Amino acid sequence: MASIRVGLAQINPVVGDLDGNVDRILAVIASAEAQGCDLVALPELALTGYPPEDLLLRPSFVRDTRAALDRVVAATRRTVVVVGFPEAGGHDAHASTDHAENADGDGRGAIATLHNSAAVCAEGRLLGVYRKRALPNYSVFDEQRYFVAGAEPLALFRIAGVDVGVSICEDAWSPEGPIAALGRGGADLIVNINASPFNTGKASARQSVLAERAREADAAIAYVNQVGGQDELVFDGDSMVVDRAGSVVFRAPQFRAGLHVVDIEIPVEGDRPSLPIIEIPGAPAHRSPVEAATVAPRLSPEAEVWEALVLGTGDFVRKNGFTDVVIGLSGGIDSALVAAIATEALGSAHVHGVLMPSRYSSEHSISDAIALADNLGIEHRTIPIEPAHVALMEMLAPSYAGHSIGLAEENLQSRLRAVILMGLSNAFGWLLLNTGNKSESSVGYSTLYGDSAGGYAVIKDVSKLLVYRLCRQRNLSAGREIIPESVLIKPPSAELRPDQRDDQSLPPYDQLDPILALYVEGDRSAEEIIAAGHDPATVERIVRLVDLAEYKRRQSPPGPRVTAKGFGKDRRLPIVNRYRR
């Protein structure tokens, strides 16, 4: 039985922050050295952050990344480091036209070949490079826009007497991919570095896939994933070690950055590997035993989403140079949830609530908003919109004369609130957090340039029914009432006209959300949704509303993706579209 000490580095890189990412990586390497690691694995494209998107089309960015890699390589000592980076190469017969030299000088394709690669380095030397073979081009991924798949012969690295193969992210999702080939070639352990974004149900799917790959390869797999928020994506870590039988022997906590050190026991086999071996000599480390490997418990579905929203919000705010946020507090459940998430992500001193009552605001909406702010400990202020509402209605009266303008007056109130919030944002440098949920966004139940405004839409991918579950989860985990019970039980209302309720304009959410899940996330047709048992008239109406609202969603702020298909990078449909089925 051989033993190899592996460090799994769940770091939180920042896209484009090459110097900062190098510093994070060097700190991990130093810690891994101090803890006697034979090998430390960092995430996919750790040097650039993931996804770098069209930064990869800039030759200067790719060159600067290579210089950053050289700094990392030079800092390595005994511990073998596996780190992801974009690798520029020469002309390649497999290169797509996107990567060919471009005579028009538009900047595309200035690099003939670019690979999504993993560098293997130690003792100040680059010992080998693995190039990702499976390039995902679905959902939120578009790697074939930038990269060429690796096709070089595979090799193994002999580290501390263990034959180690290297692979990258999507390689693990292919049954006939490089992991199986590495296993057939004699790998004892396969390191898989990742930038795998979170969505509900992803953790279980990952574990199942890794278990299957380990059994197919007859080799242990050490899987490392990054942590953090990047625009619409949230990365949850969930790094793990799976033995050759497919059993999880270590799992790191989700949504928490850190270096996790694991001693992996490898059965000694008599057979020689058939793949080429790159020997990495090194004196045995003098080290103390590490704590026994632990398998972090799985979070509940609501707890997972909560953690993703908190991490995504905090990272978006801080990585973009903000410290504080401003939120319109209506006394409703959506703004209550956003305020609670922001408070956990940033601290109560950095969250500012604004009450903007109108002539239609109920007394309980004002008192509920104040109670929420007090429970969270956040600063709040009240700015009534009535004076501006009166003035604008007087200004518009000549143009409105003789016309029914009910909806226009309702929307005017929402836009006045956006003006106030943006006025505060501009004056004090506070980022405006949007409070719209996925159910409303799906059907266009929002006011363009009103309640759709904001710099970041915290619950953009959260259905209304899930909003309620998350609020109750927050109260339960806090052991006290954070979101007032009165907010949880009152009928949802925009309060833009007397006695208004959401269910006057939309079906009840327990009918609406299942239809939306099938149409938006499941890509089911109206006929298929009706065949599943939903009311035909309701389905036809909702499908029509979703399609018509595409132009609104294109103008909405980014927000964290937590489902298998969110609006934005994920679900992309044409605005001009007459297909209605």
Task: Single out the residue of 33, 32, 37 nearest to residue 4, CA to CA.
Answer: 37
State residue 200's pLDDT score. Answer: 94
pLDDT for residue 325:
98
Q: Answer yes or no: 481 catalytic.
A: no
pLDDT tens for 183-203 read 999 999 999 999 999 999 999
Look at 502 and 451; give whichever has higher pLDDT.
451
Question: Which of 276, 298, 320 represents a domain boundary (last residue)?
Answer: 298
Position 250 in a domain? yes
Task: Identify the pLDDT of residue 162.
Answer: 94
pLDDT of residue 97: 31
Q: Distance between CA atoms of 92 and 135, rounded to whole angstroms?
A: 16
Say if 551 falls within a structural domain: no
Residue 512 inside a domain? The answer is no
Write the CA distances from 416 to 63, 68, 359, 434, 448, integer angstroms: 48, 48, 13, 15, 12
pLDDT digit string, tens, across residues 304-357: 999 999 999 999 999 999 999 999 999 999 999 999 999 999 999 999 999 999
Q: What does the DSSP 8-state code read for residue 192?
A: E
Percent of all residues in the chain with a pLDDT value above 90, rounded to a whole number? 81
Within a domain: residue 413? Answer: yes
Greater model confidence, 169 or 107? 169
Q: Yes or no: say if 556 and 441 are a contact pair by the CB < 8 Å rule.
A: yes
Q: What is the CATH number of the domain that holds 334?
A: 3.40.50.620
Does residue 416 belong to any structural domain of this protein? yes
Catalytic hit among 33, 121, 132, 495: 132
Residues 280 and 351 occupy one common structural domain: no
Picking from 438, 467, 502, the residue at the C-terminal end of a domain is: 502
Rounded average pLDDT over 426-433: 98
Co-location of 366 and 485 in the same domain: yes
Per-residue pLDDT, 218? 94
**Long-range pairs for 358-364: beta carbons < 8 A, 24 or more residues apart:** 358/384, 358/385, 358/386, 358/389, 358/413, 358/495, 358/496, 359/386, 359/389, 360/413, 360/495, 360/496, 360/497, 360/498, 360/500, 361/331, 361/495, 362/331, 362/495, 364/331, 364/486, 364/490
Over residues 2-16, mean pLDDT: 96
CA distances from 89 to 59, 62, 94, 114, 347 (A): 12, 11, 12, 6, 46
| Rounded mean pLDDT, 414-432 | 97
- pLDDT at residue number 80: 97
Average pLDDT over residues 165-191: 94
Calculate mean pLDDT across residues 553-568. Answer: 94
Q: Residue 363: pLDDT above 90?
A: no
Mean pLDDT of 14-36: 97
Cα(68)–Cα(22) distance, rounded to whole angstroms? 7
In percent, how much of the chain has pLDDT > 70? 94
**Do 235 and 133 fall within a single domain?**
yes
pLDDT at position 579:
81
| Domain's final residue, options 502, 520, 544 | 502
Confidence of residue 384 (pLDDT cuts 50, 70, 90): very high
Evaluate whether residue 312 is within a structural domain: yes
Mean pLDDT, the chain, whole residue set: 91
Spell out the residues 6+ positions from residue 532 whose beta carbon is closer than 8 angstroms to its own: 518, 524
Tell me, what's the pLDDT at 496? 65
Catalytic residue among 44, 232, 307, 521: 44
Q: Which of 169, 232, 460, 521 is catalytic?
A: 169
Asked if residue 530 is part of any domain, the answer here is no
Q: Tell me if residue 169 is catalytic.
A: yes
- Whether residue 112 sits in one domain with residue 234: yes
Res 573: pLDDT: 87
67-116: per-residue pLDDT in tens?
999 999 999 999 999 999 999 984 333 333 333 334 344 444 456 799 99
pLDDT greater at residue 559 or residue 94:
559
Shared domain check, 318 and 253:
no
User: Is residue 39 scored above 50 in pLDDT?
Assistant: yes
Domain span at residue 203? 2-298
Residue 418 has pLDDT above 80, yes or no: yes
Number of domains the chain contains: 2
Statement: residue 500 has pLDDT above 90? no
- Give the model's pLDDT for residue 95: 32
- Alpha carbon 388 to its chain centroid, in Å, reads 39
